[in-house]
Structure 1
Amino acid sequence: MNVNKTTGLHETRHPKYKVPVVHQEDLDALRFEGYPLAIHTVPAADVPSVDFYAKLEPSDELYVSLHGAVDPGPARYPHFRRVESMRDRVSAFLSIADPTLELSEREDFGIGWYTGGPGWDPMDAVESIVRQALAAVGAKYVMFIGSSAGGFASLRASVRFPASIAFVQDPQTDVGAYYSGHRNRLFECCWPQWEQDAALVAHPDRFDLRHLFATRDPQNFVYYRQSNGDEWHSRNHAKPFQEALKSCTGTRDGRFVFVFEDGEREGHGKITAAEFDRHFDAAQGFWREARATD
């Protein structure tokens, strides 16, 4: 490990991404100067570290990727999604790993929805990182990008940022309505002192986006792509969420866009690179036009 003579921060080199790994000291006082492209790792009170990939060049817009399920095994954390597809597309980009996965050493625990545990919500850390990155690049607006569980997290994060957009693909919208095996592992690993049903009732803002949007009525934008070939998610997550949004002003203002389509490949999370590019361009265009008149 080397010490950067200019910043005084410790650095290593990431073997896969070939960028510096910067060992930050304070999650609420991140130092980005001198690091236009790096992975940052920051100690936190509830987990060993919060980790994120950052490309930070001056921009009016910041793009943030949040990931879904990861492969089981010892390398579950940290995981950075959309680095290859976004790094050369935009000037300011973050890919933030889900530190929920650090709450357990179980190698089969691979999906956490960025929901954390009873006394700790990692979305607070996500918000802090994003706000500091916005200031660092001079951006006014942020797009959250995610599919499946990353789409759930992106929708929840976007609520905290007026005029932001969540561009999501086949997301879950209610953790309590997801497959029991994955759901049970989350609560066994992260909420061991709680009955699952009690936790879902006590923390609806953490687990149920229908409740979150209906009660908060956020001033954000949503571009929601759902594959008809993923019929289970369409029936149990997309359509109930779309129905719940009818009470939000964004429905009347045209801030929420749902696209149900027959994807090139059937199944969950099967969006192709070409489909992602097409929908990203559509979401970006919709967002820019809509916020200009909002």
Structure 2
Amino acid sequence: MRTVISEKHEFYGLPEYAVDEIDDISVVAGAAIYHLPIGDGMILSFVLRGHGAESDLLRVALHGARTAKVKLPYFLRVNSSLQDPYPFLAFSDPTLGLDRGNLLSWYLGTPRVDVDDWMEAVIRHVASKIDSGGVIFEGSSGGGFAALRLSARFSSSVALCFSPQTDTFNYLGGVFVKRVVRNLFGAADRDVVQSAYPYRFSVIDLYRDGMHRNNLVTYAQNDGDDEHVRDHMSPFLQSIEYDAATGRSNLDNFVLVREHVADGHGPHPITRWNELFEESVQRLRRHIMAADPLPPGAEPSCDRRGQVGLSGVDRADSADAPENIGDGATPMPVVAPTDFSDGRLAFRVYPPKDHATASRTLVAFLHSVVDPTVHPHPFLDSPLRPRELGAWSVVIPDPTFSSGSTLRVGWYLGQESWDPLLDVEKALLRVAERTDCEEVLLVAPSTAAIIASRLVARSTVFSALFLAPVFSLADEGRDSKFVRRVHESAFPSFASIQDVARSDSRASWIQMDAARVRVFVNSSSPSWGAVGSVGLDQVNAARASSVLLPESREGLFSGQQTAANPAGVASIIEEHLNG
């Protein structure tokens, strides 16, 4: 529900709304202030302008310390940012509302509520609505810390930070962070709190340990600020093994800008800020074109807590007590997701939103690209799975990932001694039987098309939605780093990945019934034109009867990206269920 608080905020002059859920946020052209409760007495307040002339990128501003005269909510650079062509978000730190005497708290939240989780969810919601391909996070000082921390969750983003703190305990002897830790976290010892809440108080640890999605960083440091050069920049550069002579580090997309702009911890002039902003925009656009990362609205959310979801409901922990799928004697869950394992496969079954009207179709979500630093195997959810669905659903992670911690794509190949095809088929058919479903709809993005095509060829129970499919390893190229990693991790005794013939099963293509398959493509994507369309042509050339016809749907893919928009996929699934 959205409720009007004020037609015009007393300071910012914008309409104000209170919302109960993220879905209540209205992403429109006009600017407004929203207030969202996130738990533990905190209200996440933010300014949003949902559209602009340059809507391919979303601008996100994060503030640092405020003065005692500044009232909450406090937003960075609202007036100037609302004049530029980019969609815009500015967040006020809700942690400050819990201790009105504190002037800086880095969006740290409370032990139970990590504010970054909620800001990430709002950003992904807005990005999906405006079809944004990337995010620019900007902030100075404490806001620069927040920009570094939040940008690490988005592969298509850049953190533009000006003289940021990188370790909250190193700022002014820890005077601000110790107040937060004492009053909100109930602790005083630095080692204890950092161990209990890793990566929340220091971005040095975050980037040193590789807990980022290879986002871009523009680190602008004022050389006249001796304290931040010594206590924040230098430890951060050391942690990423930065070489001043070459500008290289273990971060692929890191740029350091050092210049004297003022004596002490003064802000960068607005003209210089704007120049570096535009340079960062161009870097991000080149990165998106070259690397084709998942857009913010389609990328899986980052959850480093593993305990409490955004709804406040405890999540199941699949590693603790997975149930054995057994012989079907164990009843399906009534209201909660439940994890299963048959010793090699792990998967999670989700109930429908309404058991009484549930569809007779089981919707099965398969993985394509998975970031192991954020979602270690087994990742038992899918960014494409609607949170409310009128059908039973199941997510089956790719078991190939268990053979290598750095794998991002596995094609469900398994290992040398095990082809998981029969086990995946058996698990899906058994879940369908126990949920009284007559059809299994496979949702197969990109490289998951290989296992899905093999399943569709085996039984008429299976149907499939192929989303920008890659039908064979050959389409990826034998020198692809993803192919090479699977070869090295899962099939080390094979001379080449081409000797692993399971994936390139043209007999499966011939046996696929086109009436049970829909292929959705992004015809404007360069990767589809260069790879995907060729693969589909090969499939159809091998078929003796009906061909697989590619379909296009506006809004299903973002710009030139091949990653599907979850809302678009949900719409197609609902059409199928209601068809």
TM-score normalised to structure 2 length: 0.46
Q: In structure 2, how many angstroms separate the alpha carbons of the residues matched to 1:147 and 1:231? A: 16
**1:45 Cα deviation (Å)?**
1.8
**1:115 Cα deviation (Å)?**
1.0
Q: Map 1:1-294; keep pairs closer than 5 Å.
A: 9-12=3-6, 13-26=8-21, 28-33=22-27, 36-57=30-51, 59-72=55-68, 75-105=70-100, 107=101, 109-179=102-172, 180-215=174-209, 216-246=211-241, 251=249, 254-263=252-261, 265-294=262-291
SS at match of 2:136: strand
| Aligned partner letter, 1:84 | N
**1:232 Cα deviation (Å)?**
1.1
Do the aligned residues in 1 keep the contact of 2:42 with 2:95 (CA within 8 Å)?
no
Distance 1:228 1:24, change over 3 A: same
Q: In structure 2, how many angstroms separate the alpha carbons of the residues matched to 1:252 and 1:194? A: 33
Q: In structure 2, how many angstroms separate the alpha carbons of the residues matched to 1:158 and 1:110? A: 23
**1:127 Cα deviation (Å)?**
0.6
Q: In structure 1, how many angstroms separate the alpha carbons of the residues matched to 2:213 and 2:109? A: 22
Q: In structure 2, how many angstroms separate the alpha carbons of the residues matched to 1:286 and 1:91? A: 16
**1:48 Cα deviation (Å)?**
4.2
Structure 2 match to 1:3? none
| Aligned partner letter, 2:59 | Y
Q: Radius of gyration: which is bigger?
A: 2
**1:34 Cα deviation (Å)?**
5.2
Do the aligned residues in 2 keep the contact of 1:66 with 1:81 (CA within 8 Å)?
yes
Structure 2 match to 1:4? none
Q: In structure 2, how many angstroms separate the alpha carbons of the residues matched to 1:183 and 1:48? A: 18
**1:49 Cα deviation (Å)?**
1.5
TM-score normalised to structure 1 length: 0.88
C-alpha distance after superposition, 1:52-88 (max 9, x if no partner): 0011115111010011001125x54210001122111
Q: In structure 2, how many angstroms separate the alpha carbons of the residues matched to 1:262 and 1:281? A: 20
Higher relative CO (Cα under 8 Å, sequence separation at least 6) belongs to: 1
**1:47 Cα deviation (Å)?**
2.2
C-alpha distance after superposition, 1:255-293 (max 9, x if no partner): 100111111x22213211112122212222222223322
Paired residues, what number?
281
Do the aligned residues in 1 keep the contact of 2:75 with 2:90 (CA within 8 Å)?
yes
Do the aligned residues in 1 keep the contact of 2:133 with 2:288 (CA within 8 Å)?
no
Do the aligned residues in 2 keep the contact of 1:176 with 1:200 (CA within 8 Å)?
no
Q: In structure 2, how many angstroms separate the alpha carbons of the residues matched to 1:217 and 1:128? A: 17
**1:174 Cα deviation (Å)?**
0.8
| Aligned partner letter, 2:36 | V
Do the aligned residues in 1 keep the contact of 2:37 with 2:43 (CA within 8 Å)?
yes
Do the aligned residues in 1 keep the contact of 2:214 with 2:252 (CA within 8 Å)?
no
Do the aligned residues in 1 keep the contact of 2:28 with 2:51 (CA within 8 Å)?
no
Q: In structure 2, how many angstroms separate the alpha carbons of the residues matched to 1:80 and 1:206? A: 22
User: Identity over the aligned pairs, expressed in percent?
Assistant: 30
Q: In structure 2, how many angstroms separate the alpha carbons of the residues matched to 1:62 and 1:221? A: 15
SS at match of 1:246: coil
SS at match of 1:40: strand
Stretch deviating more after TM superposition (202-211 or 183-192): 183-192
Q: In structure 1, how many angstroms separate the alpha carbons of the residues matched to 2:27 and 2:57? A: 19
Q: Which runs of 5+ in 2 are unaligned?
A: 243-247, 292-579
C-alpha distance after superposition, 1:180-211 (max 9, x if no partner): 22222222222234534311233231011111
